[in-house]
């Protein structure tokens, strides 16, 4: 299936783990450079002390960087999440949000570093913010990227 930003947004918003955690993708750039995601605090996504559950905070931003890179780079590239680390800065209350962004410079560097078939594992930093713009958590994601090699003939 050929994804459009609109189709992917719809699919993510009805994806059961997001739907039942209250995660909402609010915008995806048609050029695959930016995605906006938010999550309101509800009874079903709060922890024992009444703030956002840490697992929901992480899942809110988890696959989006990989998905944007897959679409922006195209089918000539293998793109996988390699690792992630989340640091909780302060309790999340109310509505939290994040903007996942890749730049033309990111894409140029990826193409340059993978041109010879090498694996490249860049690290990206994501920030989860509260309604006042304060940092709730930061997420460091390492993405595994490789340019697909043409099939070898026998």
**pLDDT, tens digit, 9 for 90 and up, residues 46-105:** 999 999 999 999 999 999 999 999 999 999 999 999 999 999 999 999 999 999 999 999
pTM of the shown model? 0.92
Asked whether residue 115 carries a pLDDT value surpassing 80, the answer given is yes
> pLDDT band for position 151 (50/70/90)?
low
Dihedral class, residue 13 (left if φ above 0, else alpha if ψ from -120 to 50, else beta):
alpha
The predicted model gives 141-152 an average pLDDT of 86
Residue 36, H or E segment: strand 34-40
Helices 104-114 & 64-73, crossing angle to 10 degrees?
Answer: 70
Q: Which pLDDT tens digit goes with each residue over 7-47?
A: 999 999 999 999 999 999 999 999 999 999 999 999 999 99
* CATH numbers and ranges of domains, the chain: 5-147 (3.10.129.10)
Q: Regarding beta strands 119-120 and 95-101, do their DSSP bridges make them parallel or antiparallel, or are they unpaired?
A: unpaired
């Amino acid at each position: 299936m050929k994804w459009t930003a609109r189709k992917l947004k719809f699919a993510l918003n009805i994806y059961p783990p997001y739907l039942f955690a209250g995660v909402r993708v609010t915008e995806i750039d048609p050029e695959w450079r930016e995605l906006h995601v938010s999550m309101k605090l509800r009874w079903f996504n709060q922890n024992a002390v009444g703030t956002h559950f840490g697992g929901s905070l992480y899942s809110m931003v988890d696959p989006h960087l990989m998905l944007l890179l897959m679409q922006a780079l195209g089918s000539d590239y293998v793109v996988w999440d390699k690792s992630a680390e989340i640091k909780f800065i302060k309790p999340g209350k109310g509505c939290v949000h994040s903007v996942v962004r890749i730049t033309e410079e990111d894409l140029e560097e990826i193409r340059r570093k993978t041109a010879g078939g090498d694996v490249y594992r860049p690290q990206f930093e994501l920030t989860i913010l509260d309604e006042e713009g304060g940092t709730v958590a930061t997420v460091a994601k390492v993405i595994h990227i490789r340019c697909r090699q043409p099939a070898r003939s026998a």
